[in-house]
Amino acid sequence: MSAYQLIKKFPDEESARAHLEAQRWPGGVACLFCGSSGKMYSQTRNGIGGYYRCAECSKTFTLRTGTIFERSHVPLDKWLYAIYLVVTSRKGISSMQLSKELGVTQKTAWFMLQRIREACGNDDDDDSTGGGFLRGIIEADETYIGGKEMNKHEHKKLNAGRGTVGKTIVFGVRERGGKVVACVIPNTALKTIQEKLRTLLVPGSTLCTDEHSSYKGMAEFAHFAVNHSAKQFVDGMAHTNGIESVWAVLKRGYYGTHHWFSVKHLQRYINEFAFRLNEGNVRTHTMERINAALGKAVGVRLTYSALTA
């Protein structure tokens, strides 16, 4: 779907609202407070429709209630276009570029993008209580995100050495031909890495990694490693090419689009890139990917004060 086709499909607030309501309430509007799917009184305020009052509990709500769109004055058709740009831009889109596309301020565009990224991390499959949800052959690896010391302003330099100094560690796993999960971690210690793997992987899965010692000694997984230090990158079925391709895409976005990720917001950027890769693997139609993002937008609130605290 082209941008022109999207704008033709959703030319105004009302057409966008109708689509979002159909996605959120496929069986008809249901009260967000008491759960009733009975009689609803449709209301209009300031010439804008989409307000509902529940006959059961008398509370009023809108499509935006309890979503990333709540308390946003940006029209829903602009929100849809922003989501379209996020899911179709392989290297992401900057807030400056989005502000030009939508005709909003850079501050508003930045806030919109951070809300969308927050929604991208709203993963129903993620079992943070343990037991895992990724299965089969899993590749695991870590990478480092951050600018080079030589390129930093003098007052930001750490002057503490070379290599990974001043960078943030990102850990990721990828099912062969399947789902990507990535997150910021504080260190690459054995305890940190192995706790994360046990949270993500189903016991009995096959784990492929490099030679890093933190991956060793996990009896619940069949473990195969390649020795990158010895220039060994493939050993039969053992390799980490899939997860390394994720890092390549993330860093192309870092250097080519954003130029810098704040450590504070880095996880949201990772959410966005992982979502785009995951949805691109299973959904070929752009509208399906947009709808997947809309599904994740429910139950997520990110206020500006929380974002900038």
Chain-centroid distance, C-alpha 135: 21
* 48 vs 286, residue with greater confidence: 286
d(CA 58, CA 61) in angstroms, rounded, equals 10
pTM confidence score: 0.86
Query: Each residue of 154-182: pLDDT tens digit?
Result: 443 434 344 466 789 999 999 998 899 99
Output the average pLDDT for the chain: 87
Amino acid at 248: A
d(CA 206, CA 56) in angstroms, rounded, equals 52
Instruction: Give 111's contacts (C-beta < 8 A, 6+ positions apart).
Output: 304, 307
Instruction: Give 6's contacts (C-beta < 8 A, 6+ positions apart).
Output: 80, 81, 84, 286
Task: Evaluate if residue 152 carries a pLDDT over 50.
Answer: no
- pLDDT tier for residue 107 given thresholds of 50, 70 and 90: very high
Task: Evaluate if residue 284 carries a pLDDT over 60.
Answer: yes
Instruction: Give 200's contacts (C-beta < 8 A, 6+ positions apart).
Output: 132, 133, 134, 173, 181
Domains located in the chain, CATH noted:
3-120+293-302 (no CATH), 137-261 (3.30.420)
Would you say how long the chain is, in residues? 309
Q: Is 216 helix (H, G, I), strand (E, B) or coil?
A: coil
Burial class (CB in 10 A: 0-12, 13-18, 19+), 70: middle
Average pLDDT over every residue of 18-38: 94
Give the rounded percent of residues in the chain with a pLDDT score beyond 70.
90
Query: Each residue of 178-215: pLDDT tens digit?
Result: 899 999 999 999 999 999 999 999 999 999 999 899 99
Weakest mean pLDDT among 32-46, 96-110, 195-209? 32-46
The number of helices, as runs of H, and strands, as runs of E, in the chain is 10, 8
Task: Evaluate if residue 130 carries a pLDDT over 60.
Answer: no
DSSP-assigned beta bridge partners for residue 172:
141, 182
- Token pair recorded at residue 31: 């009260």
* 91 within 8 A of 252, measured Cβ to Cβ: yes
